[in-house]
Chains A and B, each alone.
Chain A
Amino acid sequence: MRHIISILVENKFGVLARIAGMFSGRGFNIETLNVGPMMDGERSRITATIIGDSGALDQAIKQLGKLINVIEVTEFTSAQAVERELVMVKVQAEANKRSEIVQICDIFRAKIIDVGNDSMNVEMTGNANKVTAFLNLIQPYGIEELARTGSVALKRG
């Protein structure tokens, strides 16, 4: 099962290595990982999505909590959280294909951020399902490069 874990940490040397090592040392594969500083600059929020059974997840959360630089660990299911990911795609787009691609982008509320002679750079934001659906539709045109931020999430309400 896919779990989203939100980890509030002290913005200190090595903290990301400790967290990554905690997962790898227990055989978890991190699906996505995102790090960004808080307003105060002294703390960061790390959002990780991992696949694992609930017993293993419980253990991972407790082990995260033991790390000295970890202030708070929250786990959400998709229903409890608002989840977003940003993707940027460089898609092959010769003149005769451009309008089709633009249509798809419109449907997904994606933005064209750069256009070249035979390619376009597109930016799209959404949850994991929307990102997958969008990429599936774009793929046939030929994806040259792809960059994803990984999920970030906040609790609802």
Chain B
Amino acid sequence: MNRYLAVALGILTAVGGFVDAGDLVTNAVVGSRYGVSLAWVVVVGVVGITLYAHMAGKVMALSGRATFEVIRERLGPRAALVNLGASLVMTLMTLTAEIGGMALAMQLLTGITPAVWFGIAAVVVWLVIWSVKFSIMENVAGLLGLTLIVFTVSFFALDPDWTVIRSQLMARHAPVHSLSYWYYVVALFGAAMTPYEVFFFSSGAAEEHWGKRDLAISRVNAGVGFPLGGLLSLSIAGCAGMVLAARHVNVDKMSEVVMPVGSALGVVGLTIALVGILAATTGAALETTLSCGYILAQYAGWPWGKRLRPASAPQFHLVMLVCLLIALGVLATGADPIKVTEFSVVFSAVGLPLTYAPVLIVANDPDYVGEHVNGRVVNGFGVVYLGVLTVAAVAAVPLMIVTGMGQ
């Protein structure tokens, strides 16, 4: 049984990273506008995150050092502090959106206003972090999140016109002259490679006590989890492309994201989709809360991890508690959780190179990984991705401003 559940970390990381509250909406928006013609971005993103997550997992398994320790060690205290600030703000924004997303999913399931659910959602997240074992947490959240496969089923049930899909996949009629198109390219790429996925993956590897024997597990986790996340996000875009684009719906609500599933599979499908969204947003809320704790503790050299008693890692738990309170505070002001994630996805693009460059360097350092240094092919891809990440980082904010967030 353990062998089958061994990919849970990869699945939870990817579900939390690819189909969190903001991505759900971004994917549906992109789908309703461009169909699946941005599929290439998802593929590029999946390859990149798989590559780098495995590198970070490898460094953790072989050296016991997590990603943010590596970032501080290689960038020095100041540049690392800048990265810490950016990553923390971005992860906190995502956390805020996830708590909001959980509440929106509960609203759609029960009809009770989201304001009631914010506090409950935050308490549930805190209780899971405080008292549930890491492996149980990742298995339950990851497996329930898999119910989002219902979007893939819906896509086929909607009987797509394959000539249209094929021409979209080849991106033949992509509006390459439209800045909005490139804004969404950067947003989708940033969403696929959000840094907290790597923080969570490498720290989760420590929670699972990965050692030298677990390199294969790291490879399988990254290689199964992230492509699955990519498939789910493509399915959401595909469904939106068929149903929402035809009805000229401009997606800005969670209810519109699940509408295609309703038209394809009826009430049962809709319920499954909502349970999946609830699980995915909860998984992402856990992932982002823990990531806030992980990165601050790793930067400062504090003990961290759910495997320790909370009393043995007090700063780690205090940080997470404060982050949850901040998220609740932001939601209490009436901020739209969906807008919050759209911002966070773009800001995450800005910090990408500062996170991934140190990982690439250390994955080539025999002090850390011994004989398992990266091969030439991996390094070749790694360097190409650093270039792409840098371009995305530079372009992100100007594109956001010029296009008015893709309007």
Our verdict on whether A and B bind, yes or no, reads no
Residues of A that sit less than 8 Å from B by CB: none
